[in-house]
Structure formats: C-alpha cells, structure tokens
Amino acid sequence: MSQEKLGDALGLTFQQVQKYERGVNRVGASRLFDISRVLDVPISFFFDDMPEGMDATPMSGPRGRSHGFAESQEPFGVGLDDHMTKRETLELVRAYYRIAEPTVRKRMFDLIKSLAPSDTFPSE
C-alpha cells in the first residue's frame, strides 16, 4: 500500500505518513491502532522485530522506583498462543487462502500437517 493510500484511509497527507515512517514524528497508540486496522494486521505486527527482553522489566526511575501502575501487571497477551500473533502466521494464512483451487489448498494443508509433530494437532 502506498503512503498516499494509507494517508487517505487515515485522513492524513502522505507527507505525514512519511514522517511517521521515517521516525520524524512519534506514532501515538491510537494512531498505531488505526494503522493496524487499515493494514488489517494485529498491533503486535509492529513489534515482531523488537529485541528480546525489552518487555521483561519495567523502566526504573530515580531511587529504583518503577514508573507506571502501583500493582504488578502481567504483560499484554500473556496466556495467548504466541504463534497466532506473529507476522509469519498472518502471511502464511493469507497466502494459504489466496490458493484458488480447493484441492490444492487441501493438499497443502495436509502437507504442512504431516511435517509438524503429531501431538501438535487435536484428533480429527
């Protein structure tokens, strides 16, 4: 999708989208949500390449105090199947459904299942 089309969908100019893309302007949470809706991707799509451990510890302030909520919070998404929120999964599912021929799609499904460990899938 072009910057111009994305801008139109968000009610912005392509120059504003360009500033977001280059990091000149900060992308707020609500704008990031809007962008994810227009692009039809989960918010986690934008964080797939984040270095390991970035979400493990809250930032500390002066005298070792943590910024944020007083009570300990579990990170968003804990307990969800992590594979379902990855960019790779989304791309794979979209490619799968672009296979027009149902018999070919079924054969691909069977092939992928045969490559995975048998305990991965529930009994049919």
3-class SS letters over 3-36: HHHHHHHHCCCHHHHHHHHHCCCCCCHHHHHHHH
Mean pLDDT of the chain: 75
Query: How far is residue 106 from each of residues 65, 81, 93, 110, measured CA to CA in Å?
Result: 55, 24, 13, 6
Predicted local confidence at residue 107, as pLDDT: 92
The domain spans of the chain are: 1-47, 78-117
CA-wise closest residue to 48 among 80, 89, 2, 79: 89
- pLDDT at residue 32 is higher than 60: yes
| CATH class of the domain comprising 1-47 | mainly alpha
Please give the structure tokens belonging to residue 121. 């899938």
17, exposed or middle or buried, with CB in 10 Å at 0-12, 13-18, 19+?
A: buried
Q: Region 36-42: what's the mean pLDDT? A: 87
41-99 pLDDT, tens digit each: 888 887 776 666 655 555 555 545 555 555 555 555 544 456 666 777 778 888 888 88
Please give the structure tokens belonging to residue 82. 């992590």
**Distance from C-alpha of 37 to C-alpha of 39, rounded to nearest angstrom:** 5
